[in-house]
Amino acid sequence: MSRFALIKAVLGPIMRLMFRPRVEGVENIPGEGPVILAGNHLTFIDSMILPLVCDRQVFFIGKDEYVTGKGLKGRLMAWFFTGVGMIPVDRDGGKGGVAALMTGRRILEEGKVFGIYPEGTRSPDGRLYRGRTGIARLTLMTGAPVVPFAMIGTDRIQPGGAGMPRPCRVTVRFGEPLEFSRYEGMDRDRYVLRAVTDSVMTEVMRLSGQEYVDMYATKAKAA
């Protein structure tokens, strides 16, 4: 049994008991081949729930601090996140964005599922913010379809991102696959990249019901 299968077998029932996730549209995720899952990001718990509600293993980029913690808690976090598919990258470095993009491309070229939060960070206030164009670069470079998804209610599990998680029902909603083959070879055109990204974010907004803010979440946090 793989570590991913073991984690799902052990923690899956606990997560279902605590969060009673309602999963809608999971059949929209192709059963094989490369696919990008792109969705909103409300809280730290999102990255724990998403891999456990998908039949296929989801690989995603995470902060390297998630796997470098000390003590028993640090070792457990590293074991869990690397087991479910997190690939640690130092995103704060000058080349962090490029490293994340190339890692995602490699995963997709291997025919796997890559999960991404186009906002680039957690929403500071529960609204949906402007997407970064890395999602567009990935789909245009690899030809992988994009399945948009929405996390609903996860912000009630850990309000403010702090404290112990509390039981609360959540919904994970997947939309129909989006494909952008009509833009093949245009992954360096910034207008195309913005159009593709906005198309994905429009679907995420429709699925989540969030209010949309046409600015980057990092700028909102800084303000």
Phi and psi angles of residue 145, each rounded to the nearest 5 degrees, phi first:
-70, 155
Instruction: Inform me whether the pLDDT recorded for 117 exceeds 70.
Output: yes
Confidence at residue 223, expressed as pLDDT on a 0 to 100 scale: 78
Cβ within 8 Å of residue 27, ≥6 positions away: none
Q: pLDDT for 46-80, tens place per residue? A: 988 898 899 899 999 887 777 777 888 888 888 88
What is the Cα–Cα distance from 61 to 90, expressed in whole angstroms?
10
How far is the CA of 116 from the CAs of 72, 74, 166, in angstroms? 28, 23, 25
What is the Cα–Cα distance from 193 to 219, expressed in whole angstroms?
20
What is the Cα–Cα distance from 175 to 206, expressed in whole angstroms?
9
Percent of the chain with pLDDT over 70: 95
Two tokens at 112? 């796997």
Q: Picking from 148-152, 183-187, 209-213, which range would have the lowest pLDDT averaged per residue?
A: 183-187
Instruction: Inform me whether the pLDDT recorded for 4 exceeds 60.
Output: yes
| 160/143: higher pLDDT | 143
Q: pLDDT for 73-98, tens place per residue? A: 888 888 888 888 888 887 665 566 78
Average pLDDT over residues 104-118: 96
Instruction: Inform me whether the pLDDT recorded for 160 exceeds 70.
Output: no
Confidence at residue 13, expressed as pLDDT on a 0 to 100 scale: 86
Q: pLDDT for 18-41, tens place per residue? A: 888 899 999 999 999 999 999 999
